[in-house]
A and B are shown apart, each in its own frame.
Chain A
Amino acid sequence: MYALSNDLPLGRAFFLSLRPFHNQHATLDENYIKHRYDPIIPSKEEWPVVKLARERKEFVKKVADLAESRVLGLTGKNPDILKEELETTLYREKLRIKQNPWAVDPDDESLFWNEVKTSLLQVNTDSSLDKAKRFQAYQEILHSITSRYAEEIASNFKASHYKFTRRVVTYGFSRLLNAARVKGFKSIFSNQYTLQDKIQITGQTDQIRDLATKGTIVMVPTHFSNLDSILIGWIISVLGMPPFIYGAGLNLFNISIFAYFMNALGAYKVDRRKKNLMYLETLKTYSKEAIQFGCHSLFFPGGTRSRSGMIESKLKLGLLSTAIEAQRANFQNGISDISGKIFIVPVTINYHFVLEAPGLIQEHLSLTGQERYYKENDEFSTSYKISKFLFKFFTKGSDISVSIGKAMDVLGNYVDQNGNSLDKRGRKIDTRDYFISDGKITVDQQREEEYTNMLGKRIVEEFHLINRVFSSHLVSFVAFEIIRSKNVKLDIFDLIRLPEEDIVIPFEEFKSICQMVLNRIFELKAQGKIDAAPHLSRPMDEIISHGIDNVGMYHAKRPLVRDKEGNIATEDMSLLYFYHNRLHGYGLEKLF
């Protein structure tokens, strides 16, 4: 097994030219300091998420009640509009149950919605009811729906499960890692390599830890793989922070491994099949109330995994708006010090390899940018496949780095160590002022929508700044752009359909263009506009080998290979396009 060959220099050099190259040395020679972070709140009884779990019942009821009054507010307390909303919801839910059932759906769903139907019919036909009574009857139906939704969304966090999961992840993985990396039977008990060798955490780690003890954190990571949820959960725990709550797609709960992990990590459930007003309002209320409760939260602001492989440029603003709402509500409730302050922390996760890439890019191409309904169907469909992937990942290398960005207030201003918002010139400003008109805090939904748009833009900007370029991103970007520049008349779809066997890029040409692009990346890095992995400061030949060996290394068809003459070729254009997209948005294509 070639994975074991890397402690023999000769063997390693030999395999290097043929098979994936092992990053272990690469990781160690990068000045990455492994920190050991103490827990910021040692007693888990004090963790906000544990407190929330203790009060789950009251909390769910509160969410249901508030969601109900939000829907009532949106329908203007008009019985006819409310009736219409109820009927629409009923119709859509029945359709969903029939057309798109999931294993995770509760058994009594049909029963519940049939009851809603019966009650609605009764109210509609009962002519003895006057307007007020009719409204009240509709309101009761609404209440039963928001209560059901709130119960469904709420997380089932259990501290004991959390501890167990964390141990499994860290301990189990580091066993695997050591077994694979250090040769011999005894290696199973070796502690030479830990998970932190594989997954580097860089950026503002001290700041997030510090602010998490003072205020409430909302972490917003990029989203490329289903593995992200677990990865981020683990990162949070390595950083010594109490678990964050986050909205995980209900589809993930279909898979038993994930369901267990998610529940243990404090996930609440987001069902993307449900797009009705009542569901969305309940979901937003849940998120807002949890933030106000002091629970650190995690949103994947892209909504779903990036299909194209690009860093998200358009964010789903629904959940993000709840951070702004919660901040305003804290001010309204008079909590104007740091304990009521909400900090937005962007995070990028950088991979050489995304397991789901083939499926994602196919979807992206077939959707051609239009947002339509599609069936969730991806390579992460069974527990077996995931385990296989994890095994490969930990035994064969392929580093991941996680960059923690600077904390911002909900308007996207950076904050100092005491959590004070700073304007562009470093002057202290009060976030409260953004919600004031005529001297008072006011609730203005349209204003907050605009603020949400602004915050979304700021997060995208920060993603680009903290994004860490890997060798694999560089080589796939350069290869794809060279192919594109040789076929200027073809649009993206024709490019993808180019016969792979006809594509060959002479190595020397490839190398010199890689150097040109890398120079530009370093220029951008010097301006603070992007980050680059330390391995990019090695000689170009090494960078190219490293990149080609690592890019999409476990795919059956590799995005980049070297042919017998040492020139650059591809086995899968759409995968190459996917990995190339990671460097989209920096204007680097203009170099071609």
Chain B
Amino acid sequence: MALRNSSKPKKIGVVGVGSFGTAIANMLAEKSDVMVYARKEEVVAEINSVHMVAGRELNPGIQATSDPEKLCKICDILFFMVPSTGFLEAVRNFAPFLYPYHMIIHGTKGLALNLAPGENLDTVKKLKRSQILTMSEVILQETVAIRVGCLAGPNISKELILDQPAATVVASKYNEVILEGQRLLRSERFQVYGNSDIIGVELSGVLKNIIAIASGALAGLGLGENAKGLLISRGMVEMVHLSKALGGSVQSVMGLAGIGDLVTTCNSVDSRNFTVGFRLAKGESLDQILATMDEVAEGVNTVRIIDSFIKTVGIRAPITENLHRVLFEDLSIEDALQFLMKYPFSVDVDFV
């Protein structure tokens, strides 16, 4: 009996049942037994009884739990699909039950700060690279798991749920993590690429949110496709330089998680980042916009962190800097645009 139990394949765990988490859980459930974690008991009960979460259907084979320890015991591979604001807390909840044999793949696009207790972005004058953590670095810092990977790419949950064709990148320093990710997720409608530059892939997914706000702003100003083409191209150059400064490679920005996701996000009028930019251009202030959004637009946070970082290390990133001035220093969006049009970008591409 004990033998049979141990030879039974383990389940795949998914932490977080937001839109992306639900989509990934359903895709995983096509091939494997899946268990999801939700913090709230009533969500767990809903999933286990009617296989629904927040109006989205879950594969009936998927079980739910609110017990991190149970999930860690039942699953060797965990997908962390929680928003960046709750990421650190979720990881800390799981840390006591994670062991070095666990593999963790996350799908969260955001940055966290690694500051001393009592410090925050307003109190620190400088922000060094060591004080900025990507989500995989959060996992490495907080847990004993080291076989860590990430998912990134143009993966709009709504389209994934409709089973439309798409692709993603699984990035990890460990080939075995990439291979597991591909084995678990690949299907006729879902292509999975591998990349060993996990930092570069994570940064691509994070930095493109800045450009997405700018894209929304251009749309809000009523500008057309020429302007958008200009923005995407210059945005990509800025992403390359920022990613390099933070330890990513140029190639990753050129890939699916970089350009691929950038183009998708700059055109997706439903995205929160795009909406922030759009409403800014329509004359609302950041506070007004944030007051009416139920989830935080990640790009706003990213602009603050990156702006602080570039000032510390002394590099220029005109789009980020001007967005920062619009968001936090009362520069009007028209003036920011004027400034960017006059900025001496003399060379088109200077990194290849």
Contacts and interface: CB of A to CB of B under 8 A. Distances in A.
Interface of A: 411, 423-425, 427, 429-431, 433-434, 436-439, 444, 446-447, 450, 454
Contact of A446 (B76, B95, B103, B175): B175
Interface string B84-106: 00000000000110011101000
Contact of B100 (A430, A439, A446): A430
A444 B100 CA distance: 15
B53 interface: no
A425 B174 CA distance: 25
B159 interface: no
A431 B144 CA distance: 11
A417 B10 CA distance: 34
A433 B175 CA distance: 17
B129 to A, nearest CB: 13
Contact of B99 (A424, A430, A437, A454): A430
B146 A434 contact: yes
B208 to A, nearest CB: 27
A23 B173 CA distance: 50
B100 A450 contact: no
B146 A433 contact: no
A299 B278 CA distance: 60
Contact of A433 (B6, B10, B96, B101): B101
A153 B133 CA distance: 45
Contact of A444 (B6, B99, B146, B176): B176
Contacts, number: 44
Interface string B139-180: 000001011000000000000000000000000011110000
Nearest to A453: B173
B76 A439 contact: yes
B174 A446 contact: yes
Nearest to A438: B76
Nearest to B6: A439
A431 B103 CA distance: 15
Given A427-B144, A437-B176, A447-B175, 4 more contacts: A427-B96, A429-B100, A433-B99, A439-B10
A434 B176 contact: no
Nearest to A442: B176
A433 B76 contact: no
A121 B176 CA distance: 42
Contacts of B96: 425, 427
Given A430-B99, A433-B100, A423 B174 contact: no
Across the A-B interface, the 8 shortest Cβ-Cβ residue pairs: A433-B100, A433-B101, A423-B144, A436-B101, A434-B100, A446-B175, A433-B99, A450-B173
A454 B100 CA distance: 14
Contacts of B146: 411, 434, 454
Interface residues of B, number: 16
A427 B95 CA distance: 11
A537 to B, nearest CB: 27
22 contacts: A411-B146, A423-B144, A427-B144, A429-B100, A430-B99, A430-B100, A433-B99, A433-B101, A436-B100, A436-B101, A437-B76, A437-B101, A437-B103, A438-B76, A439-B6, A444-B176, A446-B174, A447-B174, A447-B176, A450-B173, A450-B174, A454-B146
Nearest to A446: B175
Interface centre among B6, B99, B144, B147 (most CB of A within 10 A): B144
Interface in B272-311: none
A449 to B, nearest CB: 9
Contacts of A411: 100, 146
Contacts of B99: 429-430, 433
A430 B96 CA distance: 14
A325 B116 CA distance: 37
A430 B98 CA distance: 12
Contacts of A438: 10, 76
B101 A434 contact: yes
A22 to B, nearest CB: 43
A4 B150 CA distance: 68
Interface in B82-132: 95-96, 99-101, 103
A322 B76 CA distance: 27
A591 to B, nearest CB: 15
Contacts of B95: 425
Contacts of A423: 144
Contacts of B100: 411, 429-431, 433-434, 436
Contacts of B174: 444, 446-447, 450
Contacts of B176: 437, 444, 446-447
Contacts of A436: 100-101
Contacts of A430: 99-100
B116 to A, nearest CB: 11
Nearest to B180: A437
Contact of B175 (A424, A444, A454): A444
A454 B101 CA distance: 16
A227 B146 CA distance: 38
Contacts of A425: 95-96
A529 to B, nearest CB: 13
Contacts of B6: 439
Contacts of B76: 437-439
A114 to B, nearest CB: 42
Nearest to A431: B100
Nearest to A434: B100
Nearest to B172: A450
Interface centre among A425, A434, A437, A450 (most CB of B within 10 A): A437
Interface string B193-211: 0000000000000000000
Interface centre among B100, B103, B146, B175 (most CB of A within 10 A): B100
A446 B96 CA distance: 28
Interface centre among A427, A429, A438 (most CB of B within 10 A): A438
B221 to A, nearest CB: 43
A341 to B, nearest CB: 15
A454 B140 CA distance: 12
Contacts of B10: 438-439
A537 B309 CA distance: 38
A589 to B, nearest CB: 15
Contacts of A450: 173-174
